[in-house]
Amino acid sequence: MSKKIDLTSLTEFNAAHFVSDAGDIKAYIQEVETEDNIESLRGAVKTVFMAKGAIAVADELGITVQEVWDAQVNPLKHPDVFNNMVNVFKKG
Protein backbone atom coordinates (compact mmCIF):
# COMPACT_ATOMS: atom_id res chain seq x y z
CA MET A 1 0.00 0.00 0.00
CA SER A 2 1.37 3.42 -0.89
CA LYS A 3 1.47 6.21 1.64
CA LYS A 4 0.21 9.66 0.72
CA ILE A 5 2.74 12.43 1.28
CA ASP A 6 1.61 15.92 2.16
CA LEU A 7 3.77 17.97 -0.20
CA THR A 8 3.29 21.10 1.91
CA SER A 9 5.18 19.36 4.72
CA LEU A 10 8.32 19.00 2.58
CA THR A 11 10.96 21.69 2.72
CA GLU A 12 13.04 22.79 -0.22
CA PHE A 13 16.70 21.81 -0.02
CA ASN A 14 19.07 24.73 -0.20
CA ALA A 15 22.81 24.10 0.12
CA ALA A 16 23.26 27.67 1.39
CA HIS A 17 21.70 26.56 4.68
CA PHE A 18 24.75 24.37 5.29
CA VAL A 19 27.42 26.93 4.39
CA SER A 20 27.99 28.91 7.57
CA ASP A 21 31.54 30.29 7.44
CA ALA A 22 34.51 31.02 5.19
CA GLY A 23 35.87 27.49 5.58
CA ASP A 24 32.58 26.00 4.42
CA ILE A 25 32.51 28.34 1.43
CA LYS A 26 36.05 27.41 0.40
CA ALA A 27 35.42 23.68 0.75
CA TYR A 28 32.11 23.92 -1.13
CA ILE A 29 33.58 25.81 -4.09
CA GLN A 30 36.60 23.51 -4.25
CA GLU A 31 34.35 20.45 -4.28
CA VAL A 32 32.12 21.84 -7.03
CA GLU A 33 35.18 22.78 -9.10
CA THR A 34 36.14 19.10 -9.24
CA GLU A 35 33.01 18.51 -11.34
CA ASP A 36 34.51 20.69 -14.10
CA ASN A 37 31.03 21.91 -15.03
CA ILE A 38 30.37 25.62 -15.47
CA GLU A 39 26.65 25.25 -14.66
CA SER A 40 27.42 23.50 -11.37
CA LEU A 41 29.93 26.22 -10.54
CA ARG A 42 27.39 28.91 -11.44
CA GLY A 43 24.92 27.29 -9.06
CA ALA A 44 27.57 27.14 -6.35
CA VAL A 45 28.30 30.85 -6.77
CA LYS A 46 24.60 31.61 -6.35
CA THR A 47 24.57 29.44 -3.22
CA VAL A 48 27.57 31.33 -1.82
CA PHE A 49 25.83 34.67 -2.51
CA MET A 50 22.91 33.48 -0.38
CA ALA A 51 25.15 32.02 2.32
CA LYS A 52 27.29 35.16 2.59
CA GLY A 53 24.14 37.24 3.02
CA ALA A 54 22.93 34.96 5.80
CA ILE A 55 26.37 35.06 7.44
CA ALA A 56 26.43 38.87 7.32
CA VAL A 57 22.94 39.14 8.85
CA ALA A 58 23.81 36.62 11.56
CA ASP A 59 26.98 38.56 12.39
CA GLU A 60 25.08 41.85 12.55
CA LEU A 61 22.41 40.37 14.84
CA GLY A 62 24.85 38.35 16.95
CA ILE A 63 23.05 35.08 16.24
CA THR A 64 23.87 31.87 14.39
CA VAL A 65 23.42 31.39 10.67
CA GLN A 66 21.00 28.57 11.48
CA GLU A 67 18.80 31.03 13.39
CA VAL A 68 18.76 33.31 10.34
CA TRP A 69 17.67 30.45 8.06
CA ASP A 70 15.07 29.23 10.57
CA ALA A 71 13.51 32.70 10.76
CA GLN A 72 13.56 33.08 6.99
CA VAL A 73 11.91 29.71 6.45
CA ASN A 74 9.33 30.11 9.22
CA PRO A 75 8.90 33.75 10.28
CA LEU A 76 5.79 33.04 12.32
CA LYS A 77 7.72 30.59 14.49
CA HIS A 78 10.65 33.04 14.91
CA PRO A 79 9.03 36.50 14.77
CA ASP A 80 11.64 38.37 16.83
CA VAL A 81 14.55 37.19 14.70
CA PHE A 82 12.58 37.78 11.51
CA ASN A 83 11.65 41.34 12.53
CA ASN A 84 15.27 42.05 13.49
CA MET A 85 16.35 40.81 10.05
CA VAL A 86 13.86 43.14 8.35
CA ASN A 87 15.19 46.03 10.43
CA VAL A 88 18.76 45.22 9.31
CA PHE A 89 17.66 45.33 5.68
CA LYS A 90 15.79 48.61 6.18
CA LYS A 91 19.03 50.22 7.40
CA GLY A 92 20.45 49.54 3.95
Distances (CA, A) of 88 to 42, 61, 84: 28, 8, 6
Average pLDDT, stretch 64-86?
Answer: 94
Asked if the structure places residue 3 within a domain, the reply is no
**Full domain range(s) for residue 42:** 16-91
Check residue 51 and give its pLDDT. Answer: 92
Mean pLDDT of 59-71: 94
Q: Does residue 10 sit within a domain?
A: no
- Residue 8: exposed, middle, or buried by beta-carbon count in 10 A (0-12, 13-18, 19+)? exposed
In DSSP notation, 3-71 reads PP--GGG-----GGGG--SHHHHHHHHHHHHTT--HHHHHHHHHHHHHHHHHHHHHHHHTS-HHHHHHH
Task: Kindly state whether residue 70 falls inside one of the protein's structural domains.
Answer: yes
pLDDT digits (tens, 9 = 90+) for 13-54: 888 888 889 999 999 999 999 999 999 999 999 999 999 999
> For residues 25 and 19, is the Cβ–Cβ distance under 8 A?
yes
Q: How many domains does the chain have?
A: 1
Residue 28: inside a domain, yes or no?
A: yes
* Measured distance CA(89)–CA(8) in Å, rounded: 28
